[in-house]
Structure 1
């Protein structure tokens, strides 16, 4: 799941080179942009990065940021201020189906030009609802010029290391979002106790099979500059090469097992007390995927989840 289509060429540059006439700048004020996306039904939201991707179809929930709530019953998008440097509306492109042209999309890029999120609109006419989104002002008063954000204008939030077993699930989620999870991984590797223990990354398929068999509704979170979460039962699991795919109530999670180099079973404070989580990191120490139970669940489901992760060694 690499971010670039040609070696050394960013997603943004590739799009500008191949289809410059289909692009229109949008504001990099992400809360304002998501406010408009919330008006659309049937959007397919995709966050993909260095080895994992999450695609969810439905309606966007309210955008959250560091310190905000988690696990909304919708497409849940979370951001750290300053990450999105470019926002573009991409016009419908050609389709092999003459009666069903490809729909427009809203593509978000970081300062390096890597695509961190894409909202694929359900139909070409849905793009009209974005007509009222203010484009970047030429004087840069919205933080950008020609759709580009000056990265120096917004400082990134401080890393959230999230102490295992002590801090809550909001800190846990934010520890993956800030610092690309680097501070979190350092905290885990330096921890000596039962609230954080490394397990073999090859156990991931077994864990997901157990989740499906038990009928649990975990929250799956993928981090790649932005963070996207989905909560639901696992309906199907499959493999394509070394890529593990699962379907869950209108969403698809794909994980490149070759990219998962470290996996941990940890605990954080949730609504029902200490709650276990499965955390995955790549070879460069970046957070990939977080799986845990958020919100309220029946006691039997909580016990089943804890027992399942306790079995992983």
Structure 2
């Protein structure tokens, strides 16, 4: 015979048995569910397994189908007017004194060239593939002429100064001063940031899938120091000095021989710019360059 307190305790134990049983059955169900999930994960086909972080980043750079916001193929360059070179074939009629002067200058070009220590943020390497994994030829086959707008020292200071922001980065391969100074900003093997949104005769290379293409991957860039009266937005100025044009012709002749680059592939920033904002080099005397390249035997 149970006393009242013991009877109450016994009654409570009897009433809690269904709850304990339910909790136990629920726990077993959870364990079975977890086991099934683990088995399903283990049996997932290999091709469906999660990619590694390295693969994900590689796919992002190559513009794979996982990046729905990026195109899968390089955009086609917009139609542009074909470049008509002012330079003409010339094998005769060169000035003997001009030829001798340029030949002497060519012989000492390397000794006269000042090599600039350009900050790495202002240039890049030439690509063997575009941003979409397609092979491209990085060999220089185009020369683009520019002008500095401001003085030579200002341009040099720009190139040796770090520019972490993409929109601030700019460089050429060679600068030519008003007195005929030759400053190598970059070795031709490097990719200069001379022209942004640009194309030449329907050719460009897209190195950033988020941006339009550029000629930089296959171009050499030469910039002439602007005379003092050209430090403005006018359409022209007094032009470039004879010493400047002599040095320009010698550098161009050297590039044309090394790679080789035909005269028809010497153009201007204005001609390759797709934004219609660039006008350089203003007041450039193509006939003066014609005489000098002919004297150096590069137009025959």
TM superposition score category, shorter chain reference: under 0.3
TM-score by length of 1: 0.22
TM-score by length of 2: 0.22
Based on CA coordinates, which of the two structures has the bigger radius of gyration? 2
Relative contact order: is structure 1 or structure 2 higher (C-alpha 8 Å, sep ≥ 6)?
Answer: 2
Greater fraction of residues in strand: 1
